[in-house]
Amino acid sequence: MAGVYYSEGSWSDECPKLIGPEDHSFWLGSSVFDGARAINGCAPDIDPHCARLLNSARSMGLDPKLSAEDVAELCREGVRKMPRESELYIRPMFYATSGFIIPDPEGTRFCLSVYDAPMPGFTGFKVCLSRRRRPAQDMAITEAKAGALYPNSARAMREANEAGYDNAIIMDANGNVAEFATANIWIVKDGVAYTPALNGTFLAGVTRRRIIELLGDDGVDVVETTLSFDDVMNADEIFSTGNYGKVQPVTKVEDRDLQPGPVARKAFDLYMDYAKGYDLFA
């Protein structure tokens, strides 16, 4: 996997080995990250991703020494080090190296990975309902994009894969639809696009927010609301938004087959057109 990596003030084309068994992040999971994309040299929404990274770090009790602007500029620098035609994942991280139970803020370190990660095609994925749930705000550090939150997503994904599905729909602690295991969820009914309202149990997706704006500006009614699983099963379309695949249609939910729909296609096309305005090589 070709990539470039930044840590301790310098770049390398070799993935660095940064932590050991006594480091807090290795032992107790005190790492946060964010993800952005560069597609053919175009890297939209780096700034809100980096702003969220700083918020995640502070929520974890870390003390980031770089500003969001500093991190964003390093992300752009990393993209420019790779071939323009690359499809890249951009992953800045803060992590703790010291502390006992509570991470020591002074032990906060930063690293950045910019590496090849081909975009999935707009072909669709199959989902089932998971028995796993997203924790409420008083149960976990849900306001952070923390590595420690992902084992539950991995477990839901593993169980879905074992049942023949690609991903899973996860409910919140109150039994409402929260998101997919790896992305935000949308449904379409009678031409109206619906997505769960933010309630503190799942992360406010940067791509989710962008699609809300792009669809709304294009005349699509968008509603943030509480959704039940029955709403999902009765939808005309289901799709995801997230950094890795941007917009992806669902082609099967439980035993119901679906086709990629026009609103999902519109959202995908609008986003790709929007991304062209952030050409780092222009």
Residue 244 inside a domain? The answer is: yes
Q: Are residues 153 and 95 in the same domain?
A: no
Using the CB atoms, write b or e for 37-76: b if 16+ within 10 Å: bbbbbbbbbbbbbbbbbbbbbbebbbebebebeebbebbb
Q: Are residues 16 and 37 in the same domain?
A: yes
Model confidence over 145-171: pLDDT tens digits? 999 999 999 999 999 999 999 999 999
Query: For residue 156, what is the domain's CATH number?
Result: 3.20.10.10
Say if residue 282 is exposed, middle or buried (CB neighbours under 10 Å; 0-12, 13-18, 19+): exposed
pLDDT at residue 1 in the model: 66
Residue 27 inside a domain? The answer is: yes
R_g (Cα) of the chain, nearest Å:
19
Q: Are residues 102 and 129 in the same domain?
A: no
Measure the CA angle with vertex 239, ends 204 and 127; round to 5°.
Answer: 100
**Two structure tokens written together for 206:** 């940067």
Distance, in Å, from the CA atom of 41 to the CA atom of 88, rounded to the nearest integer, reads 9
Closest CA to 157 of 128, 196, 200: 128
Say if residue 217 is exposed, middle or buried (CB neighbours under 10 Å; 0-12, 13-18, 19+): exposed
Look at residue 222 and tell me whether its pLDDT is greater than 80. yes
Q: Are residues 95 and 223 in the same domain?
A: no
Q: Which domain holds residue 65?
A: 3-116
Query: For residue 21, what is the domain's CATH number?
Result: 3.30.470.10
Residue 282 inside a domain? The answer is: no
Model confidence over 68-92: pLDDT tens digits? 999 999 999 999 999 999 999 999 9
Domains: count for the chain = 2
pLDDT at residue 132 in the model: 96
Query: pTM for the whole thing?
Result: 0.95
Q: Are 124 and 182 in contact (CB under 8 A)?
A: no
Look at residue 52 and tell me whether its pLDDT is greater than 70. yes
Q: Are residues 110 and 130 in the same domain?
A: no
pLDDT at residue 204 in the model: 87
Q: Are residues 146 and 192 in the same domain?
A: yes
Q: How confident is the model at residue 112 (pLDDT cuts 50, 70, 90)?
A: very high
pLDDT at residue 33 in the model: 98
83, 116, 149: which is the final residue of a domain?
116
Q: Are residues 146 and 248 in the same domain?
A: yes
pLDDT at residue 245 in the model: 96
Q: Are residues 227 and 270 in the same domain?
A: yes
Average pLDDT, the chain: 97
Q: Are residues 97 and 141 in the same domain?
A: no
Look at residue 101 and tell me whether its pLDDT is greater than 80. yes
- Bridge pairing between strands 192-196 and 222-225: parallel
**Two structure tokens written together for 203:** 């992360």
Q: Are 85 and 280 in contact (CB under 8 A)?
A: no
Model confidence over 23-46: pLDDT tens digits? 999 999 999 999 999 999 999 999
Q: Are residues 164 and 197 in the same domain?
A: yes
Closest CA to 208 of 237, 172, 227, 183: 183
Residue 126, classed as helix, strand or coil, is strand
- Bridge pairing between strands 167-171 and 177-180: antiparallel
What is the number of other CB atoms lying within 10 angstroms of the CB of residue 111? 19
In the chain, DSSP assigns E strands to 3-7, 10-12, 31-33, 36-39, 87-96, 99-100, 102-103, 108-116, 125-133, 167-171, 177-180, 184-189, 192-196, 222-225, 237-242, 246-253, 256-257
The predicted model gives 200-212 an average pLDDT of 96
